[in-house]
Amino acid sequence: MRLLPHNERTGLSRLGRYTVGRRRRLTGVMLLAAVSAAAPVAGWAIVGDAIDNGIKADDPTRLTADVVLYIAVGATAWILGTTTWLMLAGIGQQIVLDLRRDLFDHLTSLSLRYFSKQKAGWIIARLTSDVDALSDVLNQGLTTLVVNSMTLVAAIVGLFVLDWRLGVVALIILPPGIVVTRWFQTTSHVAFADVRTRIAAVTAQLAESVSGMAVVQAFSRERAFQSEFAELNEANRVSNVYAQKLSSFFFPAIEFLGAIATVGVLFAGAKMIGSGSLEIGTLIAAMGMLQLIFQPLQELSELYGQVQAASAAMTKISTVLDAEQDITDREGAPEIGRIAGHLQLDNVVFAYGDEPVIHGISIDVPEGGCVALVGESGGGKSTTAKLIARFYDPLEGSVKIDGIDLRDIQLRSLRRQLGVVLQDPFLFSGTIADNIRFGRPEATDEEVAAAAHAIGVDRITARFDGGLDHVVREGGSGLSAGERQLISIARALLADPRILILDEATSNIDRPSEILIEKAFDTLLRGRTSVIIAHRLATVRRADEILVIEKGYVTQRGNEATLLAEEGPFRRLAETMHGLPAGDVA
């Protein structure tokens, strides 16, 4: 279903955009709810008539007709009420589905800049606990809201039609009820917003602890993390208790006001019966309708706290939905076809914040060529690679493929022809074959097996009974760093990219694994434009040109032999990394 663009609303009113395309169905549900709500009101009117004109008047025919009519009205109310509940629950579930999908789709469209600023646990809280808070309201609360609101209106109208004097007496509680409700609305909104913040903090701490558990245990920091979690958990408890205290005052207050109204109607009705201006059956019917007013009012009051929690959750969710997409396709950007792979960076300047970290870098890699970026950590090598993959856009200058600025083509069509092998390759939960097939889901089993064999992954799978169908856990736990890297290289090979980025792909690898991976690189790089970020000479010496990047500047460039022959940062880096005189480095 096509949804409306995002707007500035952050509360539950924002969910109105998800009713587009469902309004005819919602209108039908409202009509059913209105008829269903009117049925019990009509039932009490029938009871009053049965007492006054059937029992008191000793008219069996009238009494029989009222009984039959009462049963028919009750049956109709049951059928319509059940239908209304089912339809509203279905609409609520679909809204939750659409919202969760929109939230995840928007998250996956945000640049790495956003994820570098937000904790993973904070984002997870938006997709889980906050959406669950909305789900509770939309699944049960939406039905309660619609049905009880309709019943409340129908009962008030019915009471005034039955006897306007009793209706006026019943509404004496309206002014204090409005005051109490307004107080609860303003106070509880702040309280429930704080509850959502505390829950997000707990979730963020949990996610960080689980991800870094090996480090926590290695440095014996368990007690410190337990203490931090206990503090966050206690703060969450205090926040929830305060919110519940507000509710514990508000709900009984509404019930008390209902009791006052009931006493008032009884007292006034008794006076009217004594003066002969009111029948006993009418008073009984009025009392029944009064219950139809305050029972929904009590249920709506109980729902109010849930709605406030959902409103606070929606406000948090809106902060994600309204996050700007800083890497987007310009309007009308064409989809690029198969690229040749000529890569150019033209005087590129980039900054994460106020201060640039890349200062006027220019690179020209011909089709099928290979360039290596070397230098100390923090110099800007990985940032340069991210600009090539268009994870970021430069502040000045341009990054071009085959002479076309990356900002002038569809991002998806570019990324389909890029391959990235990272320092810490991530494997998803599933089989080894699934992970190799990740970049090209339509690949056949034979193609997956061929890629695995070409890279040497079959040496890994040989020790598992399932072979390529061996199931790995999230992150690839149970496999060595070298084994995970080989699988990621096979993944890149199967995707068949035109441009390949190797970002410190051998930095965490032992020597035996490095030999296997270097051979795999020979297969992977063949015929592709490639950018290599590495410290090891065995990796970078295959490059046509080596660029030394220091503090965002290219300070040296040339091939391995030329750079080693002259005094400069590359020679010093080689000596530092290998502990040998530059001439002996191999």
Which sequence spans correspond to the domains of the chain? 12-321, 343-584
| Tokens 């890629």 found at | 451
Which one is predicted more confidently, 190 or 234? Answer: 234
Q: Is the pLDDT reported for residue 8 higher than 70? A: no
Residue 197: name the closest of 167, 239, 165, 226 by CA: 239
The pLDDT, as a whole number, for residue 401 is: 93
CA end-to-end distance (rounded Å), the chain: 61
What confidence tier does 402 reach under pLDDT thresholds 50, 70, 90?
A: very high
Provide the residue type at 154 as one letter: A
Residues 134 and 129: their CA atoms lie apart, in Å, by: 9
Give the chain's mean pLDDT. Answer: 83
The encoded tokens of residue 278 equal: 């009111």
What's the angle, vertex CA 194, arms to CA 192 and CA 197, rounded to 5? 115
How does pLDDT run across 405-455, given as a tens digit for each residue? 999 988 888 888 888 887 778 888 889 999 999 888 899 999 999 998 888
For residue 210, what pLDDT is reported? 78
Q: What is the pLDDT of residue 9?
A: 52
- 535 phi/psi in degrees, rounded to 5: -105, -25
> From the centroid of its chain, how far is CA 365?
39
Whole-number Å distance between alpha carbons of 122 and 107: 13
Query: What is the pTM (predicted TM-score) of this model?
Result: 0.68
Which CATH architecture fits 12-321? Up-down Bundle (1.20)
Q: How far apart are CA 46 and CA 63, in angstroms?
A: 10
What three-state secondary structure class fits 233? helix
Check pLDDT > 50 for residue 96. Answer: yes
Indicate if the pLDDT at residue 288 is higher than 80. yes
Pick the more confident residue, 61 or 4.
Answer: 61
Give the mean pLDDT of 111-131: 80
Its CATH class, for the domain covering 343-584, is: alpha beta
Residue with the larger pLDDT of the pair 95 and 56: 95
Long-range Cβ contacts of 54-62 (<8 Å, 24+ apart): 55/281, 56/279, 56/280, 56/281
pLDDT in tens, 451-494: 988 888 888 888 888 889 998 887 777 788 888 888 888 888 88
- Which of 113-122, 153-162, 550-559 shows the highest mean pLDDT? 550-559
DSSP code per residue over 384-442: HHHHHTTSS--SEEEEEETTEEGGGS-HHHHHTTEEEE-SS----SEEHHHHHGGG-TT
- Judge whether residue 580 has pLDDT over 50: no
What's the rounded mean pLDDT across residues 138-145?
Answer: 76
